[in-house]
Amino acid sequence: MTAPILVLALLLDALMGEPDWLWHRLPHPATLMGRLIAALDRWLNRPPVAKLAGIVMAVALVGFAATLGWLIHLIPDWGVLECLTVAILLAQRSLVDHVRAVADGLRSSLDHGKQAVAMIVGRDIVSMHEPDVARGAIESAAENLSDGAIAPAFWYLIGGLPGLLVYKMANTADSVVGHMTPRHRDFGWASARWDDLLNLIPARLTALLIALTSGWTDPRPVLRDAPRHRSPNAGWPESALAPVLNVSLAGPRSYGGVMTDYPWVWPEGRRDPGPDDIDAACRALWRAWAGMLALVALIALT
């Protein structure tokens, strides 16, 4: 039943996204996960045992998420609650909506574009110009296609609802404590490495889906640029999307007031992307989503 439920969940997420009328009244499951992990961070993150405490937390979260998924799966409702849970934990529609909002903002003004991109990236926006804003939106589109849509679907296929919840918990933990800040360098180490491991296959699958559904069949740019990316996984979908759009991604950017000179992804591409390129990235996201849907449907029929 896993593949048929996933087909329905993918379609439901694409149609409904994350309706404001619901999540203004109830906390989203990802929000609840984040609150739990933030509370554990406050309680457990104490030197000199912060690294050990972080490992214990990561293991405990795996057990909690897997058990919760198994209990939901046991509810005798013909898979209705499970399908709704999967749809809620997929983020294709909401991702496209947030990315497209950056294009709409830029068409209004640079300031509106900056405000929109600040919702989906963590870099400094004050000194951004239009190409920087567009590049940030496109990079976020590529990375979050993997994290928010393809990886959750992949782990649901592999491990059912326990597998999906384990992945979402790990991904949320990485977002909350997985940064290389002084506070989280030790405590978040296990969460960051666990998230890297769980995204190893989905990130590469995402790159393959982006390339093939967009008609790009030359693997050399991806194999060249992805390993040079600052992330072991995000570079794969980014290095697949960049040549499809013929836009250079990554490159220099500022975090916390510090400019970092990251290597370019697809350096031979254009370095002046704008709103039209963001729209093209959104279309590429939907093509990749359709490729995943077709793959899951094929599995469901076999």
CA 258 vs CA 123, 177, 219, 302: distances in Å:
10, 21, 33, 52
What pLDDT band is residue 257 in, cutting at 50, 70 and 90?
confident
pLDDT at 258 (0 to 100) = 83
Q: Is the pLDDT of residue 172 over 90?
A: yes
In this prediction, residues 103-108 reach a mean pLDDT of: 98
Q: Is the pLDDT of residue 20 over 90?
A: no
In this prediction, residues 67-77 reach a mean pLDDT of: 93
In this prediction, residues 260-287 reach a mean pLDDT of: 96
In this prediction, residues 119-129 reach a mean pLDDT of: 90
What pLDDT band is residue 244 in, cutting at 50, 70 and 90?
very high
| Selected residue with higher pLDDT from 204 and 257 | 204
In this prediction, residues 248-259 reach a mean pLDDT of: 87
pLDDT at 101 (0 to 100) = 98
pLDDT at 180 (0 to 100) = 84
In this prediction, residues 135-158 reach a mean pLDDT of: 97
pLDDT at 14 (0 to 100) = 97
What domain range includes position 95? Answer: 2-301
What pLDDT band is residue 254 in, cutting at 50, 70 and 90?
confident
Q: How many CB atoms lie within 10 A of CB 288?
A: 30
Residue 62 CB partners (closer than 8 Å, separation 6+): 166, 169, 170, 194
In this prediction, residues 71-90 reach a mean pLDDT of: 93
In this prediction, residues 267-274 reach a mean pLDDT of: 96
Please give the mean pLDDT across all residues of the chain. Answer: 95
Domain count, the chain: 1
